[in-house]
Amino acid sequence: MHRLTPFAMPVVLPWTILGLYLAVAILAPYIAPADPLAATGAPLSPLFGSSGILGTDGFGRDVASRLIWGLRPMLAVSFGAVFLATLAGGAYGLVAGGIGGRTDWLMMSVVDVMMSIPLILAAILVMAALGGSVINLIISVGISQIPVFARLARALASVEARKEYVLAARAVGLSRFHVLVREILPNIVRPLLVQAGSVVATAGLTAAALSYLGLGVRPPAPDIGYMVKEGQELIFIAPGQTLLPGLVLGVFALTAALCGETIGQERRR
Amino acid sequence: MVGPPRGSAARDRDKTIVFALPDLVGNFEPQTWIGFGDSVHVVDMVARGLTHMDFSDPVPQPAVAESWSLSPDGLTYDFSIRRGLTFHDGTPVDAQAVLRTFNRMIDSTDPTRPDMSFALENLGGANIAGFSVPWPNTFRIILKKPDAALPGRLSRPDMVIISPRTLSEKGRHIGPDLSACGPYRITSVTSNERVVLEAFDGFYAGRPATRRVVMEVIPDPLAQISALASDQLNITNSVPYSNIDRLGRMEGLRFTRPAAFITTALAMNCSARKLADLRVRQAINHGIDREAIIADAFFGKAELPGYITPKSEPGYDPSHMDLSAFDPEKASALLRDAGMMGMELTILSENNGFWMRLGQVVERSLRTIGIRATVDYLDTGTFNARAFSRTGHDACFLQRSAFFPDPDGRFSPLFATGCTVAEHMTAQTGLPDQPALDQAIAAANAEHDPTRRAARYVAMNRFMAERMLPVAAMVNTFMPVVASAGLRGIPVNALGTFRTFLEDVVVDA
Amino acid sequence: MTSGLLRRVATLPFMLLAVASLIFAIMHALPGSMIESLSAQFVSDAQRVRLMAGLGLDQPLWRQYLVYLNSLAHFDFGISAQTGKSVATMIGETLPVTMEMAGASFVVMTVCGLGAALIAVHAADGPADVAIRLLSIILSTLPWFWLGLVLIMIFSLWLGWLPSFGRLPPSIDYRPVTNFVMIDAVILGRPDLIGPWISHLVLPSLTVGLTSSGVVMRLVRSEILATMKKEFVLTARMKGIGANRIFLRHILRNAAVGIMTVLGAQFGAMLGGSVVAEVVFGYPGIGRMLVRAIESRDYLTVQGAGIAIAALYILVNFMTDLACLYANPRLRDGVWS
């Protein structure tokens, strides 16, 4: 059991933390001590003071509540983008690898072109074109991750496509679609999921970087990435303004990566 | 949290000062400059025009011209050129050189004219009838209508005199090779990185006291703060407002509060149906909580506005303070009268600088009076595309600094018929009072007596605010100037509005 | 694989054409154009029209596209509307800077990543291994724009050891020739450039290099461990070959392909991925230029810089493959990768 995570710690720990993040995000309306948009005290009240356990931000809004509500866009973008990328990239790679030949070559050339444009540049361009919102962040971060999944799915599918059971299925006269979806897909889903688990953290960080460049969720809606940026210039005056959201983001990325790791380890067993 | 300055980088203190630039494109063509924040800082250091304004008073001072005279009809300015000056490259500064610089603005067949020349527009556009040298050492500008602001306009950074040799050699592509007759000459340029300047012995006001100025690109505010603290940076006007008080209290640093020449305003599209009613625009105007903006978005580094003209320029009157007063009850009443209670309003904003903080305060305060306001934060390109299109926005933020401290610097380029803001951003040219405003602007520029001219702008501010209200003034602010305590002679007011004249800065031993 | 490489060389122009077209399409799909950015300087209506014509933006899009492709075919990236300089010059000024930073980050990443991975392998499943595996995950999940600020605070602000911005100190006069400081130091005979240059590189390369090294640690470690379990290693062991010799001659050599692929991919990502690091450290690289050009809708600059980065990326991949071929000649008989 101890081999499941690099630490000799129970596999449940990261999953518990991740579950906690999800629960807090879902239950935000019931948990948050105050309205995240309303001023509840003097600006930049200190931690553990009279106005909120984590104090208030530069606009007098409750930091704890903003962190709790801010989990929603962070989780939605991280998981949404990975879901989108897995689905779209996986399907694309499945078709390319499953069909093979010239189609494969052409489709993967397109992926090569996408790969050669830097991720963050692609994300910046897409955000500038679409404008800031959770959905657009999902699209933008998702698109930037598609090539990774497309390559993986294609590699897996092309190996499967040469195996006997596929050749047999085709010899029997089953349609291409049937072979792809019913025969090949079930055999490549698991590695794709492992990959998905490992890029959730990356997606979260990319989204935060976009918020950092001013291309994220529209304020005053609370968003962890934007809180890091907004608080940054206050680091000498009220360090918590940027350290706390940074911590929330960092712990999320770490637990997401550890959870991803456990999916991979189980497979190896 | 910051320790005492660590002098590790202190060197040549008596010879070099370092100034922070947010960016550096590395093209110093004065007649096309398309943004401040980088090249204009360098042009201000390297080149000078016929006149100079240092932002301590509204009177243009002699520069390359030692004096000027105006014909009785107010249409002909004669500038006598200072004798014995040379450009950095050694060519003499004379009336012919001045003429060549100005002809480059107006003569579309001039092979040295850059593709996107803006300069003539900023000097008066169609109002310029021509330039000539009537006799040696005199440069003449002939106008079609009188323009009392012309000597002031000539102090703009795009009016500087360029060496004829530079023009002959570089033509339309001056790039980094600007030779002029300002206090400093360029010794090296590395794009996106730094410009090194050296004091010019032949400057008309004498060689600057500080021999070497390095203009260094430091885009990140925290990096600027750490550079200030460790004495790697001596003057900056681009650290965030939030840190100013703290930096000012630090040993070895000093903050001086400049006059507030930078106006921030909310531009309202008068052709949008929901804003066509003056009462709605008035409601928005009185619904903006300016005190909250000053406290929450500018950390106290801003002041309440009158209307268009800031306190530091002629044309301001204390009675203007009522024009932009926060009055939520009055605002709600106006909104109710207009039948627009609960209206939705989307305001466009840029997603950088102080805008994202300012936008949150405006959104909050408009919501309390009954406008469901939302601010859209857009990257600069998208913002410009939508803000300069009548159909692209209902309202947007607008910022204007002073290129020269004259009231016309805001009225003609922003609110006269034919300019992009009036035509596309506020669409005020469709308002019935626009012709009267155009006439008032022309009449004010025909008035040469300073007192009577100022009185006209006082009236014009009131007229625009009460009858038209295409923009709501929000707050007036400045670029916060933080410098090493050992420096004297810092032109705080100019630096507070993006003009960089460092020739009088002296480093105390 | 050899034939695959040749094919890759042959398709290079088409790849670049596709990249150019894609960036052209995205840029023109963005709202706004250079004209509105210029309008922010409050020009008149008449001037707007003249400017449109001057920039060729009054032409239909397909014609603008053909004009652009035509100039690309003549190796002409055009003149930037914002800076008035040729885009090729601007790339020449900024790309070397980015390559320097990517190179330094690569060194940090390789040293830390490989070093830690080797330690982990030797102590497999021991406490050191566990610690390194955890460290690798922490490093790869650190918000790196955040790490940069922390490093500035510690090393520049508190300790005052290292400069926090720029490429060289303001006290040094430097006129670039190649824009590679290291090469210029040799050409110009300026050894005094090197020390300050390195001290300015330390913080940015630590930021980018450390966060990338996490992935390297993890992948290299598992690559080596996987190789160790292969049959030929067991055979060698049974033959009684010494452990060190097995490790160097057999395991490392066979794992080299995987290791180099990882390193190459990470280096490629660094070339275009350090936008934020360039902003934080005021490093005058191509990423910052790109962001500025996107904001002002300076089409030719974005397109030119995009093509340059893509070309470099493709080149890095190509070199990686060549290196793999050299390390493991058996691949030469393999199929196209």
Dump the DSSP string for A119-179.
HHHHHHHHHHHH-SSHHHHHHHHHHHHHHHHHHHHHHHHHHHHTSHHHHHHHHHT--HHHI
Residues of chain B in contact with residue C32, where contact means CB-CB under 8 angstroms, are 381-386
Which token pair is A2?
A: 């101890």
Q: Which chains touch A (3 or more CB pairs under 8 A)?
A: B, C
Residue C124 touches partner A, C-beta closer than 8 Å? no
* Cα dist from A71 to A59, A256, C164, whole Å: 20, 14, 32
Does residue C47 lie within any of the structural domains?
Answer: yes
CB spacing of B221 vs A233 below 8 angstroms: yes
CATH code (residue C190): 1.10.3720.10
Nearest-Cα residue of chain C relative to residue A224:
C143
Among the partner-chain residues A121, A212, A246, the one whose CB lies closest to the CB of C290 is A121
Asked if C190 and C109 sit in the same domain, the reply is: yes
Testing the interface with A: which of C141, C217, C314 to mutate, by most A Cβ within 10 A?
C141
Per-residue pLDDT tens, chain B, 509 aa: give them. Answer: 333 333 333 444 457 899 999 888 878 889 886 554 578 899 999 999 999 999 999 999 999 999 999 999 999 999 999 999 999 999 999 999 999 999 999 998 899 988 778 788 889 888 999 999 999 999 999 999 999 999 999 999 999 999 999 999 988 888 888 999 999 999 988 878 889 999 999 999 999 989 999 999 888 888 888 888 888 899 999 899 998 998 888 888 999 999 999 999 999 999 999 999 999 999 999 999 999 999 999 999 999 999 999 999 999 999 999 999 999 999 999 999 999 999 999 999 998 889 999 999 999 999 999 999 999 998 888 898 899 889 989 999 999 988 899 999 999 989 999 888 999 999 999 999 999 999 999 999 999 999 999 999 999 999 999 999 999 999 999 999 999 998 999 999 999 998 999 999 998 86
Closest residue by Cα to residue A121 from C286, C204, C18: C286
Among the partner-chain residues B173, B193, B229, the one whose CB lies closest to the CB of C84 is B173
DSSP bridge partners of B216? B20, B194
Asked if C200 and C319 sit in the same domain, the reply is: yes
Asked if C250 and C308 sit in the same domain, the reply is: yes
Q: How far apart are CA B430 and CA C81, in angstroms?
A: 33
Q: How far apart are CA C174 and CA C138, in angstroms?
A: 39
Testing the interface with A: which of B1, B226, B377 to mutate, by most A Cβ within 10 A?
B377
Among the partner-chain residues C22, C275, C294, the one whose CB lies closest to the CB of A117 is C22
Nearest-Cα residue of chain C relative to residue B421:
C42
Nearest-Cα residue of chain C relative to residue A225:
C143
Q: How far apart are CA C9 and CA B444, in angstroms?
A: 69
CB spacing of C296 vs B381 below 8 angstroms: yes
Does residue C238 lie within any of the structural domains?
Answer: yes
Query: Which residues 6+ apart lie within 8 Å of C182 measured at CB?
Result: C100, C194, C197
Residue B226 touches partner C, C-beta closer than 8 Å? yes
Q: How far apart are CA B24 and CA B21, in angstroms?
A: 7
Helices B434-446 + B408-415 axis angle, to 10: 140
* Cα dist from C77 to B89, B499, C81, C300, whole Å: 32, 34, 12, 7
Q: How far apart are CA B352 and CA B377, in angstroms?
A: 9
Query: Looking up tokens 């810089």, which residue turns up?
Result: C305
Asked if C144 and C52 sit in the same domain, the reply is: no
A198 contacts A257 by C-beta, under 8 angstroms: yes
Residue C226 touches partner A, C-beta closer than 8 Å? no
Asked if C64 and C157 sit in the same domain, the reply is: no
Asked if C139 and C288 sit in the same domain, the reply is: yes
CB spacing of C85 vs B26 below 8 angstroms: yes
Asked if C302 and C273 sit in the same domain, the reply is: yes
Asked if C46 and C120 sit in the same domain, the reply is: no
Q: DSSP assignment, residue B77?
A: E
Across the beta sheet with B212-217, what order do the strands follow? B184-190, B194-199, B212-217, B16-21, B235-236, B481-484, B253-256
Which token pair is C91?
A: 């790339």
Residues of chain B in contact with residue A127, where contact means CB-CB under 8 angstroms, are 379
Does residue C106 lie within any of the structural domains?
Answer: yes
B495 contacts B238 by C-beta, under 8 angstroms: no
Query: Which residues 6+ apart lie within 8 Å of C62 measured at CB?
Result: none
CB spacing of C149 vs A235 below 8 angstroms: yes
Residue C269 touches partner A, C-beta closer than 8 Å? yes
CB spacing of C41 vs B418 below 8 angstroms: no
Testing the interface with A: which of B1, B239, B242, B375 to mutate, by most A Cβ within 10 A?
B242
What are the tens digits of pLDDT across the range A35-49? 888 888 888 888 887
Pairs of residues, one from chain A and one from chain B, whose beta carbons lie less than 8 Å apart: 58
Identify the H or E element spanning B38.
none
CB spacing of A121 vs C11 below 8 angstroms: no
Residue B223 touches partner A, C-beta closer than 8 Å? no
Task: Please list the rounded mean pLDDT of every run of 10 residues in chain C (337 residues).
Answer: 69 83 86 72 68 79 88 84 83 89 92 90 83 87 79 82 82 80 86 88 90 86 82 76 75 79 82 74 85 84 88 84 75 45
Q: How far apart are CA B290 and CA B298, in angstroms?
A: 11
Does residue C80 lie within any of the structural domains?
Answer: no
Helix (H, G, I), strand (E, B) or coil at B187: strand
Asked if C179 and C291 sit in the same domain, the reply is: yes
pLDDT in the model for residue C104:
92
Residue B448 has φ and ψ, to the nearest 5°, of -100, -20
Nearest-Cα residue of chain C relative to residue A248:
C143
Pairing of strands B506-507, B487-488: antiparallel
Spell A258-268 as b/e; 16+ CB within 10 A means b.
bbbbbbbeeee
Query: Which residues 6+ apart lie within 8 Å of A70 measured at CB?
Result: A36, A222, A223, A224, A227, A245, A248
Does residue C289 lie within any of the structural domains?
Answer: yes
Does residue C78 lie within any of the structural domains?
Answer: no
Q: How far apart are CA B103 and CA B81, in angstroms?
A: 16
Asked if C177 and C296 sit in the same domain, the reply is: yes
Which of C11, C44, C73 is the C-terminal boundary of a domain?
Answer: C73
Residues of chain B in contact with residue C158, where contact means CB-CB under 8 angstroms, are 1-3
Residues of chain B in contact with residue A236, where contact means CB-CB under 8 angstroms, are 1-2, 225, 243, 246
pLDDT cut 90: percent of chain B above it? 73
Among the partner-chain residues A128, A218, A220, the one whose CB lies closest to the CB of B382 is A128
Q: How far apart are CA C127 and CA C137, in angstroms?
A: 16
pLDDT band at A233 (very low <50, low <70, confident <90, very high): confident
CB spacing of C44 vs B418 below 8 angstroms: yes
- What is the complex's ipTM, to 2 decimals? 0.81
CB spacing of B219 vs C30 below 8 angstroms: no
Residue C85 Cα, gap to closest chain B Cα (Å): 7
Asked if C204 and C325 sit in the same domain, the reply is: yes
Does residue C82 lie within any of the structural domains?
Answer: no
B284 contacts B268 by C-beta, under 8 angstroms: yes
Find the DSSP H helices in B416-478: 420, 434-446, 450-463
Q: How many domains does chain C have?
A: 2
B49 contacts C209 by C-beta, under 8 angstroms: no
Specify burial of residue A77 (Cβ count, 10 A radius: 0-12, 13-18, 19+).
buried
CB spacing of C141 vs A125 below 8 angstroms: no
C164 contacts C203 by C-beta, under 8 angstroms: yes
Residue A244 Cα, gap to closest chain C Cα (Å): 12
Nearest-Cα residue of chain C relative to residue A9:
C130
Q: How far apart are CA C152 and CA A131, in angstroms?
A: 32
Per the prediction, chain A carries an average pLDDT of: 84
What are the tens digits of pLDDT across the range A175-205? 878 888 888 888 888 888 888 888 898 888 8
Testing the interface with B: which of A127, A140, A236 to mutate, by most B Cβ within 10 A?
A236
Does residue C160 lie within any of the structural domains?
Answer: yes
Residue C23 touches partner A, C-beta closer than 8 Å? yes
Q: Give residue C283's domain range.
A: 87-335
Asked if C178 and C140 sit in the same domain, the reply is: yes
Residue C5 touches partner A, C-beta closer than 8 Å? no
Which of C49, C73, C97 is the C-terminal boundary of a domain?
Answer: C73
Query: Which residues 6+ apart lie within 8 Å of B108 measured at CB?
Result: none
pLDDT in the model for residue C332:
54
Residues of chain A in contact with residue C137, where contact means CB-CB under 8 angstroms, are 6, 254, 257-258, 261
pLDDT in the model for residue B35:
52
Nearest-Cα residue of chain C relative to residue B114:
C84
Q: Which domains does chain A have, with CATH numbers?
A: 11-31+49-268 (1.10.3720.10)
What are the tens digits of pLDDT across the range B104-148? 999 988 999 887 787 888 898 889 999 999 999 999 999 999 999
Across the beta sheet with B344-350, what order do the strands follow? B302-303, B471-477, B262-268, B395-400, B344-350, B372-378
Q: Does residue A9 have a pLDDT over 70? A: no
Amino acid at A172: V
Give chain C as a 3 state SS string. Answer: CHHHHHHHHHHHHHHHHHHHHHHHHHHHHCCCCHHHHHHCCCCEHHHHHHHHHHHCCCCCHHHHHHHHHHHHHCCCCCECCCCCCEHHHHHHHHHHHHHHHHHHHHHHHHHHHHHHHHHHHHCCCCHHHHHHHHHHHHHHHCCHHHHHHHHHHHHHHHCCCCCCCCCCCCCCCCCCCCCCHHHHHHHCCCHHHHHHHHHHHHHHHHHHHHHHHHHHHHHHHHHHHHHHCCHHHHHHHHCCCCHHHHHHHHHHHHHHHHHHHHHHHHHHHHHHHCHHHHHHCCCCCHHHHHHHHHHCCCHHHHHHHHHHHHHHHHHHHHHHHHHHHHHCHHHHHCCCC
DSSP bridge partners of B266? B397, B472
Which of C15, C43, C73 is the C-terminal boundary of a domain?
Answer: C73
Cα–chain-centroid distance for residue B440?
Answer: 23
Nearest-Cα residue of chain C relative to residue B35:
C41
Q: How far apart are CA B35 and CA C292, in angstroms?
A: 12
CB spacing of C137 vs A120 below 8 angstroms: no
Chain A, 216 to 255: residues with Cβ < 8 Å from chain C are: 228, 232, 235, 246, 249-250, 253-254
CB spacing of A213 vs C143 below 8 angstroms: no
CB spacing of A119 vs C306 below 8 angstroms: no
